[in-house]
Amino acid sequence: METTLILLKPDAIQRGLMGPIIGRFEAKGLEIAAAKLMVVPRDLAERHYAEHKGKPFYDGLIRFITSSPVLAMAIRGVSAVAVCRKLIGVTHGAKAEPGTIRGDYGLSGGYNLIHGSDSPESAARELDLWFRPDDIVDYESTQRKWVYDPSDL
Ligand code: DAT
Ligand code: MG
């Protein structure tokens, strides 16, 4: 099992898309292990997006992510990092495939609804930024044995 960081960005919250987006992760069989609605402090936004510092879109990105609440979630499953990135789609909403979250709900490159960690190493770093270890809940999911073949686990 892997755990990844998912952020529903300010546009997703303001557009009333939390339910439909969370529903996609649940329907896939992934598990919500933590969730926190919060206004993002600037220093957290800067640490989260440190790799993009200096890029032309960086200032706008920090302004956007701190402008209105986000829903931070820890999402768990086998290969959760890669599976979530696939469900999310490519960065620009207009280029993302239909069937993906960005492809179905977005048209923008910046206002693209959702963040997902891009590797297990990023996931570990980002989960540590957004959650205390105690916030991430380890529980017995009753559906797990019907989502996965025993050989998947
Ligand atoms: P992703 O979120 O798909 O991992 P990224 O890590 O390259 O994409 O960029 C982080 C965020 O920065 C992205 O979700 C939206 C914003 N961004 C990236 N490229 C952009 C661009 N060319 N114009 C405006 N915003 C951009
Ligand atoms: Mg990224």
Cα 127 to ligand 2 centroid, rounded to whole Å: 14
Ligand 1 binding pocket includes 92 (Cβ within 6 Å): no
The pLDDT value recorded for residue 148 is: 98
For residue 102, the ligand closest to its alpha carbon is 1
Nearest CA to ligand 1 atom 24: 110
**Catalytically annotated residues:** 115
Ligand 1 binding pocket includes 111 (Cβ within 6 Å): no
The pLDDT value recorded for residue 134 is: 97
Nearest CA to ligand 1 atom 8: 91
Query: Quick check: 45 and 65 in contact, CB under 8 A?
Result: yes
By DSSP bridging, strand 114-116 and strand 70-77 are unpaired
The pLDDT value recorded for residue 83 is: 99
Nearest CA to ligand 1 atom 1: 91
Query: Quick check: 56 and 47 in contact, CB under 8 A?
Result: no
Distance CA 121, CA 22 (A): 23
The pLDDT value recorded for residue 4 is: 99
- Report domain 2-139's class: alpha beta
**Edge-to-edge strands of the sheet including 2-8?**
31-38, 70-77, 2-8, 114-116
The pLDDT value recorded for residue 49 is: 98
Cα 48 to ligand 2 centroid, rounded to whole Å: 10
The pLDDT value recorded for residue 62 is: 98
pLDDT digits (tens, 9 = 90+) for 27-38: 999 999 999 999
pLDDT digits (tens, 9 = 90+) for 65-121: 999 999 999 999 999 999 999 999 999 999 999 999 999 999 999 999 999 999 999
Ligand 1 binding pocket includes 57 (Cβ within 6 Å): yes
The pLDDT value recorded for residue 117 is: 99
